[in-house]
Structure 1
Amino acid sequence: MTTRRNFIKKTGLGLASAYLGSSLLHACTSSKQKGEGPFANIGLQIYSLRDLLSQDAKLTLETVSKIGYSHIETFGLDTTTNSFWGLSVPELKKIMAGIDLKTYSGHYDLSRYLSRHHTDKEPIEKYIETAHELGQKYVIAPVTPMDDLNNLKVEDYQYAAEQLNKAGEIAKQAGIKIGYHNHFWEFRTFANGTKGLDILIAFTDPELVAFELDIYWIEKSGLSPQSYFQKYPGRFPMWHIKDMDKSYSQPIVGKEYDSLPFDSIQNKIRFTEVGSGQIDYINISQSAKQAGLEYAFVEQDDIYMPNKFESVKKSYDYVQKFLTK
Structure 2
Amino acid sequence: MKTTRRNFIKKTGFGLAGAYFGSSLLQACTVSKQKGDGPFANIGLQIYSLRDLLIQDPKLTLQTVAKIGYSHIETFGIDLTNNTFWGLSIPELKKIMADTDLKTYSGHYDMSKYLSRHHTVDKEDIEKYIETAHELGQKYVIAPVTPMEDLNNLTVEDYQYAAEQLNKAGELAKKAGINIGYHNHFWEFRNFANGTKGLDIMIAFTEPELVSFELDIYWIEKSGLNPQSYFQKYPGRFPMWHIKDMDKNYAEPIVGKDFDSLPFDSIQNQVRFTEVGSGHIDYINIVQGAKQAGLEFAFVEQDDIYLPNKFESVKKSYEYVQKFLTK
Aligned to 2:83: 82
**1:186 equivalenced with 2:191 (yes/no):** no
Q: How many residues align?
A: 309
The offset of 1:146, in angstroms, is 0.6
Percent sequence identity over matched residues?
83
Aligned to 1:38: 39
Aligned to 2:217: 215
Deviation track 1:135-179 (CA, whole Å, cap 9, x = no partner) reads 000000000001000000000000000000000000000000000
RMSD: 1.0
Mapped contact 1:20–1:310 kept (Cα < 8 A): no
What one-letter code is carried by the residue in structure 1 that aligns with 2:79?
D
Alignment CA distance shift 1:132-1:22 (3 Å): closer
**1:135 equivalenced with 2:137 (yes/no):** yes
What one-letter code is carried by the residue in structure 1 that aligns with 2:26?
G
Aligned to 2:170: 168
- In 2, distance between residues paired with 1:280 and 1:30? 26
What one-letter code is carried by the residue in structure 2 that aligns with 1:36?
D
The offset of 1:84, in angstroms, is 0.1
What one-letter code is carried by the residue in structure 1 that aligns with 2:225?
L
What one-letter code is carried by the residue in structure 2 that aligns with 1:49?
L
Higher relative contact order (CA 8 A, sep 6+): 2
Q: Secondary structure at the match of 1:296?
A: strand
Q: Secondary structure at the match of 1:36?
A: coil
Q: Which runs of 5+ in 1 are unaligned?
A: 1-11
Deviation track 1:227-262 (CA, whole Å, cap 9, x = no partner) reads 000000000000000000000000000000000111
Work out which of the residue numbers 10, 27, 32 in structure 2 matches 1:29: 32
Aligned to 2:118: 117
1:24-103 to structure 2, matched below 5 A, reads: 24-25=29-30, 28-31=31-34, 34-103=35-104
Aligned to 2:12: none
- In 1, distance between residues paired with 2:50 and 2:226? 28
- In 2, distance between residues paired with 1:278 and 1:124? 37
Deviation track 1:172-226 (CA, whole Å, cap 9, x = no partner) reads 0000000000000000000011000000000000000000000000000000000
What one-letter code is carried by the residue in structure 2 that aligns with 1:234?
G
Mapped contact 1:182–1:212 kept (Cα < 8 A): yes
Mapped contact 2:29–2:67 kept (Cα < 8 A): no
The offset of 1:24, in angstroms, is 3.9
Aligned to 1:231: 233
Q: TM-score, normalised by structure 2?
A: 0.93
The offset of 1:22, in angstroms, is 3.9
Deviation track 1:42-69 (CA, whole Å, cap 9, x = no partner) reads 0000000000000000000000000000
Aligned to 1:4: none
Mapped contact 2:218–2:244 kept (Cα < 8 A): yes
- In 2, distance between residues paired with 1:23 and 1:316? 14
Structure 1 segments, 4+ long, off by >4 Å, are none
